[in-house]
């Protein structure tokens, strides 16, 4: 089994668990430290939202994550419930529209005091985006190593392992329209919606509520922990056969949260998230 098969079809892997863990665990820990140090050079930590923006942003974030699913179900009913992958293009387009509207509303709403934290999280800085591309190149081998280590740990513990169902569904059809729809959903709509919801609204809101712009303290750690935990949880980690993915998803979420905190902008994290999803989807499409 080659590395691509191992990453995307982990249920078929047969690893020397202890030897694999002995290699992967130190690699991930040391590599993650250096990635963190690079991210920290992108700017001072911050990204807090005002209390008003936080509470106003929560329903907007939920709309970005859930409204496209609800609308497609109401329109197509059983067809959509039977095969959501057939509606990937519609989902991606709807999610892009809903999230763009939510970003606009939260950025320009008028219901907070004048002295509140400036809403600069929509700013675009080309240098930050360029550095994010470099961070992705460094972070990707670490995320893949964490997947391999997690598979080895699951096999050692006798835990069940299953490939992500959404990957199988999105790549089951190889027609050009289906492929374009899969990329629109997984590389455009989902990263933008999740970065807005989990980094800007959830992390930024909790940071503002619990810690403000403090550089350390229990409030800041709580904002990191809650936003990272919920990001991992909503990706199916309550299922026993998907628990092995908790490690790589946590690592990805840590990187994304740190990027938002040190750039104070939505776009670098959305870029890294899109590059990650795009690579995984492309590898899945090329898998025989």
pLDDT the model gives residue 288: 58
Give dist(CA 244, CA 253) in Å, integer.
Answer: 15
Give dist(CA 237, CA 242) in Å, integer.
Answer: 6
- The neighbour count for residue 24, using CB atoms within 10 Å, is 23
Token couple for 212: 């403000």
pLDDT the model gives residue 168: 83
Instruction: Domain ranges for the chain, please list them.
Output: 3-285
Cα 106 vs. chain centroid, distance in angstroms? Answer: 20
Nearest to 141 by CA among 36, 50, 35, 222: 35
Give dist(CA 95, CA 89) in Å, integer.
Answer: 10
> Mean pLDDT in each 10-residue stretch from start to end of the chain (288 residues)?
70 81 94 97 93 94 97 93 90 97 93 74 95 97 94 88 84 88 96 98 96 87 96 85 90 98 97 97 84
pLDDT the model gives residue 268: 98
Residue pair 250/233 in contact by the 8 Å Cβ criterion: no
Q: Taking each helix axis from N to C terminus, what angle separates 246-263 and 266-285, rounded to the nearest 10 degrees?
A: 150
Q: What is the pTM of this model?
A: 0.94
Q: Which SS3 state, helix, strand or coil, does residue 122 take? A: coil
């Amino acid at each position: 089994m080659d590395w691509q098969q191992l990453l995307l079809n982990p249920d078929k892997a047969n690893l020397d668990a202890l030897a694999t863990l002995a290699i992967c665990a130190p690699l991930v820990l040391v590599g993650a430290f250096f990635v963190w140090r690079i991210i920290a050079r992108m700017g001072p930590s911050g990204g807090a939202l005002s209390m008003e923006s936080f509470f106003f942003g929560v329903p907007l974030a939920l709309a970005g994550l859930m409204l496209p699913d609800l609308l497609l179900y109401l329109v197509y009913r059983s067809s959509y419930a039977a095969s959501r992958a057939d509606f990937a293009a519609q989902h991606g387009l709807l999610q892009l529209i809903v999230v763009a509207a939510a970003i606009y509303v939260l950025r320009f709403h008028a219901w907070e005091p004048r002295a509140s934290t400036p809403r600069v999280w929509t700013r675009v800085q080309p240098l930050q985006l360029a550095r994010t591309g470099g961070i992705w190149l460094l972070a990707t081998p670490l995320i893949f190593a964490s997947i391999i280590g997690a598979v080895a740990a699951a096999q050692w513990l006798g835990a069940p392992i299953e490939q992500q169902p959404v990957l199988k569904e999105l790549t089951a059809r190889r027609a050009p329209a289906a492929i374009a729809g899969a990329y629109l959903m997984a590389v455009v709509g989902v990263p933008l919606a999740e970065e807005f919801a989990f980094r800007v609204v959830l992390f930024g809101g909790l940071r503002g509520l619990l810690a403000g712009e403090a550089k350390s303290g229990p409030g800041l750690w709580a904002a990191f922990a809650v936003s990272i935990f919920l990001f991992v949880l909503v990706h199916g980690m309550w299922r026993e056969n998907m628990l092995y993915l908790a490690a790589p998803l946590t690592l990805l979420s840590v990187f994304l949260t740190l990027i938002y905190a040190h750039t104070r902008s939505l776009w670098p994290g959305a870029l890294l998230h899109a590059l990650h999803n795009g690579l995984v989807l492309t590898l899945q499409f090329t898998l025989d």
